[in-house]
Structure formats: C-alpha cells, structure tokens
Amino acid sequence: MLTFTIRRLFLSIPTLLIISLAIFLLLQLAPGDPMAQVPLTVPPEVKQKMREALGLGAPVHVQYWKWMVQFFWIEPQVLFDHWFGTGFAEGKLRVISWQTRSPVMDIVMQRMPQTLWVVGMSYIVGILIALPIGIYSAYKQYSLFDQAGTFVSMIGFSIPPFFSGVVVIVIFSVNLGWFPSIYDTTLVVNDWDSFVVQLRQMIMPVMVLALQTTAQISRFMRASMLDNLNQDYVRTARAKGLRESVVVMVHVLRNSMIPVITVIALGIPGIFGGAIITETLFKVNGIGQLLLTALFANDLPMVMTLTFIFAILIVLFNLIADVLYGVLDPRIRYD
C-alpha cells in the first residue's frame, strides 16, 4: 500500500507539471496588457521598462521556469519561514500580483479561510444530510420516502446553484428578512451574539452548496446500500440472530461506505469550482471571487496560481480517493 501511495505521488508530479504548462501556455495567448491601467502620461519607453521588470520581455520558457521556481521553491520557503521564524526566503522574488503588487500567495492565504469555512461547512452539512437519507431510502426501497428522496435529489441535480441561490435570497432575505443576503467577512466571532450573526449569514450559502452535495451523495449511498443489502452475509447476520439495527448500521453500512467515501473525496475539488458561483452570489470574498476579479483585471500571475491551486486540489483528492479505496477495502490490492 505504501509503495502504491509513493508511486502514485511520483506519478502525479508529471501530471501537475503538464497541467501547469498547459495553463501557462493558455495564459500566454492572452491579449491583455498589464500596463493597460497605467496612466497615458507615462511614456512608452518607461512602460516597456516596466514590462521588462515584470519579466514579460523574456522568452516563454524562461518565464515558465521562473514561475515554477517561484511557486515550487520560494513559496514553500516563505511558508517555512512563516511557521518556524527562519529567514530562507528573505530578499527572494515571489509570485507578484499585477493588480495589487503584493505576493499572490499572501492574498490567497487571506482569502482561503472564508472559502474553507463556507465550502467546508457546506460539504460537511451536505454529507450529514445525505447519509441518513441514502441509508433509509435504500432500506425502505420504493417506499414513499424513497420516491420523495429520488425526486428531491433529481431536483438538487437539476437546479443550478446560481438559481437556487437567487431563490433563497428572494424568499429568506427579501421577503422574510430572516438572513442577510451579503456575507460579511469582517465579522469577528468573539461572543454569543456575533456567533449567531455568523451562523445566520452562513446558513444560505452553505445550504445552497449543500443541496448539490446532498443530491449526489445520497444517490450514491442508496445505490451502495442496495448492492449490499442483498448479499449473503446480510442473511447470515440476520440468521444468527443479530438485531436489525446492528445488521444495517454496522454490517451493511460499513461495507457500503467504501465506495461512498471515495466519492466524497472525489467531490471535494468540484465543490471549490461550485463555490465560484456561490461566492459571487453571496458576495463572499473567497478564492473563487478572487479568481473572477483577477480574470477581469487581467492579473495573469494570480489567475495562473489560483487555477493551478485548483488543479493541485483535484490531483491530490484523486490520489486520496484511490488510496482510501485500497485502505478501506482489503479485497483491493494495487501491488
């Protein structure tokens, strides 16, 4: 198992390199000019010098190499310095945003907690809702609950988040006035009142994202439970007199969770993509919204770094899903 994990880790390096190269080349084709915002009074020679200072005059492969060095070598050093108070990265050039002229990773780190809060909470809430629904609708297959569950998850699949988000804003924020429609990221939670405010502003974005998760995972849970409920070992467990709750909740559930857990791991990067829309809608200043503003402002280093972070997440969670599958299911042997 360990050798498999290590082999997969090494295999993911060329994948990530090719992805980063693809994103880089795509961005090279961009027609935008970072000097477009500079006042017209600045003479063209100065603009040219500024471009060269940003590294734009260099050939493509040099630019790519510099970005790689900055991202894979200098940024980890900065992180190391930050944690242990050392001074490895002092004076070295980091990935600089064209928009704010500050290091990209600093901004990403500022924005990350908001995204992680909303996205992470929504995923956890979605899973917590989905699992009982999936278990019960498989146990009572074709019952009214199962039919309703199927219908609701079909709706969850079909309603895009930008519509369900707008609908909940209209209903709960405009008509009923229960929850604020704008997420206030400056809120500091230090007592009960601010906690309630935080809870109220999180409910809508979390539920909108969770609807999608719930729809998907409850379907998987149901299918996986159905596969296992008809197996011989279930009959054996019942025959030896185990209580029904033990049979379903211990024997069947543990075996059904194997594929579901991998699906959960595989879904995590996708939810970050979905967060772009939800963050725009509820005005959460997370990394999805950062990507969007950077795109419109033609801030290529920021776009490059953010897109690559998304790619790392996907590759990482694919790997985790593969490894988990092998760990959880002793029948799977990769070696």
Partner 1 sequence: MTDTSVSAEDLELYGALKDKEPPKAPRSQWRDVWDQLKKHKGALIGGGFLLFITLFVLIGPLIWQIDPKKLDIRNKDLRPIYTLLWDSEARTLWSRPFGTDNLGRDIMATLIAGGRASMAVGWMAMILSLALGTLIGVCAGYFKRLDGILMRVTDLFLSLPILPLLLVAVTLFRQPLRANFGPETGMFILIVGVIGLTSWMQTARIVRGEVLALKEREFILAARSIGTTPFKIITRHLLPNVVSPIMVSATLGLATAIITESALSFLGVGFPSDFPTWGKLLSDAVPRMEEFPERVMLPGILISLTVLSVNYLGDGLRDALDPRIRGR
Which positions from 128 to 167 touch partner 1 by CB under 8 A, shown as an x/- string? --------------------------xx-xxxx-xx--xx
Which of 63, 77, 100, 280 is in the footprint of partner 1 by CB under 8 A?
280
Measure the CA–CA gap between 250 and 233, rounded to whole angstroms.
12
Q: Phi and psi (nearest 5°) for 57?
A: -75, -20
Mapping DSSP to helix (H, G, I), strand (E, B) and coil, where does residue 103 land? strand
Structure tokens at 333: 């042997």
Which positions from 18 to 57 touch partner 1 by CB under 8 A, shown as an x/- string? xx--xx--xx-xxxx-------------------------
The amino acid that residue 217 corresponds to is I
Number of residues that bind partner 1 (CB under 8 A): 44
Which of 4, 242, 318, 325 is in the footprint of partner 1 by CB under 8 A?
318
When the beta carbons of 131 and 303 are compared against partner 1, the nearer one is 303
Which of 104, 211, 315, 323 is in the footprint of partner 1 by CB under 8 A?
315
First-last CA distance in the chain: 7
Which of 174, 189, 249, 327 is in the footprint of partner 1 by CB under 8 A?
174
* C-beta atoms surrounding 150 within 10 Å: 15
Binding of partner 1 at residue 112 (CB under 8 A)? no
When the beta carbons of 309 and 328 are compared against partner 1, the nearer one is 309
When the beta carbons of 139 and 282 are compared against partner 1, the nearer one is 282
Measure the CA–CA gap between 59 and 125, rounded to whole angstroms.
48
Cα angle 304, 306, 308 (rounded to 5 degrees) comes to 70
* C-beta atoms surrounding 3 within 10 Å: 9
Mapping DSSP to helix (H, G, I), strand (E, B) and coil, where does residue 96 land? strand
Which of 291, 299, 305, 322 is in the footprint of partner 1 by CB under 8 A?
291
Q: Phi and psi (nearest 5°) for 97?
A: -75, 135
Across 57-77, b (16+ Cβ under 10 Å) vs e yields eeeeeebbeebeebbeebbeb
Binding of partner 1 at residue 225 (CB under 8 A)? no
Q: Considering the complex, what minimum distance in angstroms separates the CB of residue 53 from partner 1?
A: 23
Q: Considering the complex, what minimum distance in angstroms separates the CB of residue 18 from partner 1?
A: 6
Which of 1, 9, 25, 170 is in the footprint of partner 1 by CB under 8 A?
170
Measure the CA–CA gap between 78 and 183, rounded to whole angstroms.
31
List interacting residues with partner 1 (CB under 8 A).
15, 18-19, 22-23, 26-27, 29-32, 154-155, 157-160, 162-163, 166-167, 169-170, 174, 269, 272-274, 276-277, 280, 291-292, 295-296, 303, 306-307, 310-311, 313-315, 318
